[in-house]
Homo-oligomer: A and B are copies of this chain.
Amino acid sequence: MSNRAILLIHCPDQKGLISIITKFLWDRNANVVDLDEHADTELGVFFCRVEWEAEDGLDQKRLEEQFQAEIADRYEMIWKVYFTKDKTRMGLFVSKSNHCLYDILFRAQQKGWPFELPLIISNHESNQQIAERFDIPFFAFEVTPENRAEVEKQQIGLLQEYQVDFIVLARYMQILSPSFVKQFPNQIINIHHSFLPAFPGARPYHQAYERGVKIIGATSHYVTEDLDAGPIIEQDVVKISHKDEVADLVRKGQDLEKIVLSRAIWAHIHRKVLPYGNKTIIFD
């Protein structure tokens, strides 16, 4: 696998930005393999993702300094460059449900899923054995209203120790505190089992059953301080009928949750998501 550089940018929109960015790269002999831009004309904001072959001897630090000095400062760019040789590290949070856990354990071993899974954190011990089967360190915490702050402190310690880059809440049934969330802005991916904004909060399949909807959904989003209200990364739905009881909704929905969450993870680790305000740009 080659090492590729991926540049994510947003800045006030103006003429010539693509030309300026691509000229900078061309001058450094970069072979751009993918460029995707989006201009939000209403907001007046320019979004861009550029991917190029990073040469072997590339001085990454120098490139970044030059980009900042020659371009980013002038055009007020918020930007970051990633390199595919640096595998991103996931901290996985689970509770008792394990359909998403299994799915992620499977993908962690698949070619084409460039992430590492150094640890699993849970508020139950029930999935310890599964983690052991896959040789992933597993840490269970009993969380109560009283000890939540202390538990979160320990969890953050573990995330630092294991050098985690982003967090996936794979049906983790605890609400993280605002102070926890603030430490990982747009770095915590949650899966909610409804097509948000319908049925936020607890027991969405029961809510869906009560309302008599004909489709159910799942939504993967970045976690913000507002419950189930963060920037949406991916959604999908499946049809149901009057024959489906809550248990059927759960069964059909779980297959959806796995797929929707995995697509969000895929987009995130391939640097195809650019959050802005409470929305996301998804470069595909």
Binding site for B on A (CB under 8 A): 15-16, 18-19, 22-23, 25-26, 29-39, 41-42, 99, 102-103, 106, 110, 112, 133-134, 195-199, 211-215, 217, 231-237, 241-243, 245, 247, 251, 255, 259, 262, 278-282, 284
Contacts and interface: CB of A to CB of B under 8 A. Distances in A.
Contacts of A16: 22, 26
Nearest to A215: B235
A106 B112 contact: no
Nearest to A103: B106
A242 B18 contact: no
- Residue from A198, A281, A284 whose CB has the most chain B CB atoms within 10 Å: A198
B32 A35 contact: no
A106 B134 CA distance: 13
B232 A213 contact: yes
A281 B243 CA distance: 8
A99 to B, nearest CB: 7
20 contacts: A15-B31, A18-B18, A18-B22, A18-B32, A18-B35, A34-B39, A99-B106, A103-B106, A195-B217, A195-B237, A196-B198, A196-B211, A197-B199, A212-B232, A212-B279, A214-B235, A241-B282, A241-B284, A242-B280, A259-B259
A212 B278 contact: yes
A44 to B, nearest CB: 12
Contacts of A242: 38, 279-282
Contacts of A18: 18, 22, 32, 35
A266 to B, nearest CB: 8
Copies of chain A in the complex: 4
A103 to B, nearest CB: 8
Contacts of A197: 198-199, 211, 213
The list of the 8 closest CB pairs from A to B, nearest first, reads A212-B279, A19-B22, A198-B198, A16-B26, A214-B235, A102-B106, A19-B26, A242-B281
Contacts of A112: 247, 251
A280 to B, nearest CB: 7
Contact of A32 (B15, B133, B195, B281): B15
A196 B214 CA distance: 10
Given A213-B232, A282-B242, A37 B35 contact: yes
Given A106-B99, A112-B247, A214 B198 contact: no
Nearest to A132: B133
A262 B251 contact: no
